[in-house]
């Protein structure tokens, strides 16, 4: 099975559609299958106690709710981005953070993701299931009971192992949970959404059987934004995609040992 690779722009575009386009181009060039944004209704998603807090931003001091509105793409931007990807070999979708955003994205695509922060929102999960042909969930920040409740409620197509620390310490990645999920939820596709530094552990997740791989991407990790530091830059994204495809080729099939052409040639010269 071909591994599906998701390049998550998230909110790393900082409200700049041209920056989003550059990251889409990067993801396509690298060989990703999907590029993903995050869609929110800020007035609904931002907690009341956070809305009026002042925040320093590249655009000056502003309240947190004003900042969230400033970087949120709406219909004009999504129309343009979907036109931009029409003839590209990459598909665009988003994590939906509220029911209004689920409705919004259903006008563009049949694939959706519930982010780790919201898999305990059973109403949202069920609503997204009814609006999506392909539904993904991420398991970060949740205990086993919360994950079971979400899966029972919305029957996702893909369950993604995630640690939601940005960046995640290597010793807390717990990649063995990929195997746990595969054994517990037979028939489901199991994925991995990584927020760690480097690529080695993401390669390991592929070898362990994750059939969906997601990493945040950026053009420059020094750019402003909370997710930039845990994101993969263009050169790293190229290495990630090539490495995953090489691992797919190297794994082969689960079958009895067989001789390959190179070995047969060597056998004829070395074995008596």
Whichever domain contains 59, its CATH number is: 3.20.20.70
Task: Give residue 146's pLDDT band: very low, low, confident or very high (50, 70, 90).
Answer: very high
- Map residue 242 onto helix, strand or coil: helix
DSSP letters spanning 105-163: HHTT-SEEEE-GGGTT-HHHHHHHHHH-SEEEEE-TT--HHHHHHHHHHH--SEEEEE-
pLDDT tens across 188-204, in order?
Answer: 999 999 999 999 999 99
Tokens 């994590």 locate to: 95
Residue 1 has pLDDT above 90, yes or no: no
The pLDDT of residue 246 is above 90: yes
- Classify residue 187 by its DSSP letter: T
Cβ contacts of 235 within 8 Å, gap of 6 or more: none
Give per-residue pLDDT as tens, 151-162: 999 999 999 999
Residue 68 pLDDT level (bands cut at 50, 70, 90): very high
pLDDT at residue number 197 = 96
The gap from C-alpha 265 to its chain's centroid, in whole angstroms, comes to 44
pLDDT of residue 253: 80
Q: Give the residue among 89, 92, 96, 90 at the shortest CA–CA distance from 112.
A: 96
In the structure encoding, which two tokens stand for residue 112, read together? 């959706």
Please check the confidence at residue 272 and state whether its pLDDT lies above 90.
no
Count up the domains in the chain and report the number. Answer: 1
Say what the pLDDT of residue 252 is. 84
Residue 248 CB neighbour total at 10 angstroms = 14
* pTM score, whole prediction: 0.95
pLDDT value at 132 more than 90: yes
- What average pLDDT does the segment 52-64 reach? 95
**Average of per-residue pLDDT values in the chain:** 96
Instruction: Give me the domain span that covers residue 97.
Output: 4-270
**Residues in CB range of 194: below 8 A, 6 or more apart:** 162, 168, 173, 201, 202, 205, 213, 214, 215
pLDDT more than 70, % of the chain: 100
Give yes or no for residue 271 having a pLDDT over 90.
no
The mean per-residue pLDDT over the stretch 72-82 comes to 98
For range 216-235, the mean pLDDT: 96
pLDDT in tens, 32-52: 999 999 999 999 999 999 999
Q: State how far the Cα of 97 lies from the Cα of 87, in Å rounded to an integer.
A: 28
What's the whole-number mean pLDDT along residues 233-240?
98
Position of tokens 């074995």? 271
């Amino acid at each position: 099975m071909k591994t599906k690779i998701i390049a998550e722009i998230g909110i790393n575009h900082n409200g700049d559609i041209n920056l989003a386009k550059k990251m889409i181009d990067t993801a396509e060039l690298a060989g990703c299958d999907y590029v993903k944004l995050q869609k929110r209704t800020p007035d609904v998603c931002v907690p009341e106690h956070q809305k009026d807090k002042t925040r320093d931003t590249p655009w000056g001091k502003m309240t947190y709710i004003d900042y969230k509105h400033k970087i949120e793409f709406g219909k004009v931007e999504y129309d343009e981005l979907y036109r931009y990807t029409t003839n590209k070999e990459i598909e665009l979708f988003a994590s939906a953070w509220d029911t209004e955003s689920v409705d919004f994205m259903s006008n563009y695509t049949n694939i959706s993701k519930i982010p780790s922060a919201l898999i305990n929102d059973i109403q949202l999960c069920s609503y997204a299931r009814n609006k999506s042909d392909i539904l993904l969930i991420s398991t970060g920040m949740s205990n086993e009971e919360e994950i079971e409740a979400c899966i029972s409620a919305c029957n996702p197509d893909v369950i993604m192992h995630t640690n939601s620390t940005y960046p995640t310490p290597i010793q807390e990645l717990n990649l063995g949970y990929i195997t746990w999920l595969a054994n517990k939820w037979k028939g489901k596709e199991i994925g991995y959404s990584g927020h760690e530094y480097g690529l080695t552990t993401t390669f390991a997740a592929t070898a362990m059987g994750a059939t969906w791989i997601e990493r945040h991407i950026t053009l420059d990790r020094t750019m402003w934004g909370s997710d930039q530091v845990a994101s993969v830059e263009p050169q790293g994204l190229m290495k990630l995609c090539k490495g995953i495809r090489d691992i797919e080729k190297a794994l082969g099939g689960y079958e009895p040992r067989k001789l390959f052409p190179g070995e047969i040639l060597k056998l004829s010269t070395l074995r008596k």
